[in-house]
């Protein structure tokens, strides 16, 4: 993934942050009614300002903002404004505070801003910097819908069917298995037999519960089961994977290339789903994508289509970008300028805006 060459930006001259709360048009549950972002602006000696962000859909935004405003700023200011060069020493410096989680989520804000600055300096998009051979990627419909009544869930499934998605995903778990059977049956009937269906348990099952549930649900022709167990339990996922005939997907809550390598080489996952912010930005995402490609393991970026699509168009392996209904930055009214990605039903197209192309209002 190499493309346009960015001029030197000099050193990091300053880092500015701002907390942004974004009420969701369709709440993701009683406890997730807003998304929380930390805008990160990085000023460089070359006079180019990079625009990045960190993201937490539920908790932790203030902790992320504090790490950016203190530990990360103290370390980064005065160093070369080069995302690839700065990421490894910064991660080593912050490692005592944790190898992932708040640490890497905060690092993502700086990393994304530096990639944005590099693109702006080169008058190129991030996708062009990565040498993307295409400008569009497919989209699949994703529902944060565990709390939806059955009728509302079926209405959403009908919207997916009307849009023509080839793959959709729904939530399961947290209720009696018989109810999940009824809900999946209703969605399958609505979308038809030719549309692929994935399910996401969001870490709610034990190993025994997962094996039993997947055995019952597999008759619906499932593309994958996502995070059936606690994400940290890679051994448990490997054990489950050997016992079921539905592909296992995980990765949205793994934070380093090391954990992704363990998941792949340890047989814990058929599919990996890194979140570009949770892993620490574009720099580590590229390393994870390389590990997955070498192992011939499919990679589906988790959420954040405004960034994920720009990475997906540069990937060698075919993939799809996940879109949750009415949750994009532009749809939520967060952007001061047109976004870097447009979604037309089942296709996401990178518009070619310079840098990352995300400027918050």
Active site residues: 171, 302
Per-residue tokens: 53: 């962000």
Quick check: helix, strand or coil at residue 335?
strand
State CA 299 to chain mean position distance.
11
Task: Tell me 278's DSSP state.
Answer: T
104's CB contacts (< 8 A; 6+ apart) are 91, 255, 256, 278, 279, 280, 281, 284
What single string gives the DSSP state of each residue in 194-209? Answer: TSEEEEE-TT---HHH
HSE value, Cβ hemisphere, 13 Å, CA-based, for 203 = 10
CA distance 336 to 116: 16
Q: Are 180 and 213 in contact (CB under 8 A)?
A: yes
Per-residue tokens: 129: 């910097």
Per-residue tokens: 66: 């504090």
């Amino acid at each position: 993934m190499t493309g346009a060459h960015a001029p030197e930006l000099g050193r990091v001259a300053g880092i500015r942050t701002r907390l942004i709360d974004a009420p969701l048009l369709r709440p993701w549950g009683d406890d997730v009614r807003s998304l929380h972002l930390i805008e990160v602006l990085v000023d460089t000696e070359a006079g180019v300002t990079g625009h990045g962000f960190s993201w937490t859909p539920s908790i932790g935004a203030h902790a992320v903002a504090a790490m950016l405003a203190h530990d990360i700023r103290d370390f980064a200011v005065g160093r070369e404004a080069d995302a690839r060069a700065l990421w490894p020493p910064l991660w080593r410096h912050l490692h005592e505070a944790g190898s992932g989680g708040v640490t890497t989520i905060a690092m993502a804000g700086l990393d994304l801003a530096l990639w944005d600055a590099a693109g702006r300096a080169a008058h190129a998009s991030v996708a062009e910097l990565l040498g993307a051979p295409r400008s569009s990627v497919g989209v699949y419909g994703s529902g944060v819908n565990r709390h939806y009544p059955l009728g509302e869930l079926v209405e959403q499934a009908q919207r997916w069917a009307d849009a023509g998605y080839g793959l959709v995903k729904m939530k399961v778990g947290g209720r009696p298995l018989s109810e999940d059977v009824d809900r999946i049956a209703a969605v399958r009937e609505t979308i038809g037999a030719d549309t692929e269906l994935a399910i996401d348990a969001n870490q709610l099952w034990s190993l025994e519960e997962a094996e039993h549930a997947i055995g019952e649900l597999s008759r619906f022709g499932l593309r994958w089961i996502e995070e059936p167990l606690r994400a940290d339990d890679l051994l448990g996922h490997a054990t489950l994977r050997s016992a079921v005939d539905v592909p296992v997907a995980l990765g949205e809550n793994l934070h380093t290339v090391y954990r992704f390598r363990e998941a792949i080489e340890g047989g814990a996952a058929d599919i990996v789903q890194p979140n570009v912010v949770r892993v620490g930005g574009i720099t580590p995402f590229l390393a994870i994508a390389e590990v997955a490609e070498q192992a011939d393991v499919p990679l589906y970026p988790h959420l954040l289509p405004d960034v994920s699509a720009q990475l997906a168009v540069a990937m060698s392996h075919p993939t799809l970008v996940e879109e949750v209904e009415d949750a994009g930055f532009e749809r939520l009214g967060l952007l001061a300028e047109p976004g870097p990605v447009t979604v037309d039903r089942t296709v996401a197209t990178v518009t070619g805006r310079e840098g990352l192309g995300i400027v918050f209002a």
